[in-house]
Every structure is written in C-alpha cells, then in structure tokens.
C-alpha cells in the first residue's frame, strides 16, 4: 500500500512534468535557450513541442493516474517514468565523457534532478 508521502512525491513530479509540457508547447525556444539551442525553423520548434511538450504532458497524465491508482499499474508507471528519468541522466553522463566539461547549470543541475527523481520513483515503485 502506498503512503501519503509516496502519493505526494508522485503528484509533485507530475506537476513538474505538466509545467515542462505546457512551457514547451507555449514557448519552445525559451525552454531550450539555457542549453544554447536556437529554434529558427518550424521543424525545430515542432521537435521541442513533441519531445518536451507532448512527452511532458503524457508523463504528467500517467503520474496523475499513478497518484490515485493502486496495484500493478501504479508500479509499472513508476518503473517506466523512473527509468526514463534515469536514462536522461545517463545520457548527460555520456555527454560529459564524450563532450567534456560543462557548467553546473543547466546540464549538471538537470542531471541531479533526473537522477534523484528517477531513483525516488524506482524506490517507491
């Protein structure tokens, strides 16, 4: 049985994904600006809206379901979202090895967010 703390953690993570998704749909260029990415073509903006916007909203939706559901669906959702976040953090590590040093923000900041959030979801799954 999931605790109220687990449910609150899931809900908070869902809100962050919701915010990212809405922001990416509304202002894709602003979302990726801290990474030095410019979106001069409509295809570039479409990619950010799809990957950050659509993905963010989908993750928010499944986390909302997981916050109120019990059983194997909840565990599966937490496992899938946790692994997705862990994969994102891993990609940042690969980039650090291949591409060299970067400033703490944004790369290492988001590495920390992804690694911690992924680990928490995997633990409570």
C-alpha radius of gyration, the chain, whole number: 15
Question: pLDDT, tens digit, for every residue of 4-57?
Answer: 999 999 999 999 999 999 999 999 999 999 999 999 999 999 999 999 999 999
Range of the domain at 87: 4-124
Distance CA 82, CA 87 (A): 9
Distance CA 109, CA 88 (A): 12
For residue 97, pLDDT over 60 is answered with yes
Question: pLDDT, tens digit, for every residue of 75-88?
Answer: 999 999 999 999 99
Report how far apart, in Å, the C-alpha atoms of 39 and of each of 31, 53, 116 are: 10, 15, 29
pTM of this structure: 0.91
Which pLDDT score is estimated for 13?
97
Distance CA 22, CA 104 (A): 25
For residue 1, pLDDT over 70 is answered with no
Number of domains in the chain: 1
Provide mean pLDDT across the span 106-124.
97
Question: pLDDT, tens digit, for every residue of 52-73?
Answer: 999 999 999 999 999 998 889 9
Distance CA 52, CA 20 (A): 7
Distance CA 51, CA 35 (A): 15
For residue 125, pLDDT over 80 is answered with yes
């Amino acid at each position: 049985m999931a605790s109220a703390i687990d449910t609150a953690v899931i809900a908070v993570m869902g809100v962050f994904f919701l915010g990212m998704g809405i922001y990416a749909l509304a202002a894709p260029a602003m979302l990726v600006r801290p990474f030095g990415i410019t979106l001069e073509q409509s295809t570039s903006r479409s990619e950010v809206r799809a990957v950050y916007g659509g993905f963010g909203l989908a993750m928010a939706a499944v986390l909302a379901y997981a916050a109120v559901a019990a059983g194997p669906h909840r565990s599966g959702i937490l496992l899938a979202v946790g692994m997705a976040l862990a994969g994102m953090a891993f990609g940042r590590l690969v980039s650090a090895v291949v591409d060299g040093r970067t400033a703490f923000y944004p790369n290492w900041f988001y590495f920390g967010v992804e690694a911690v959030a992924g680990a928490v979801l995997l633990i409570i799954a």
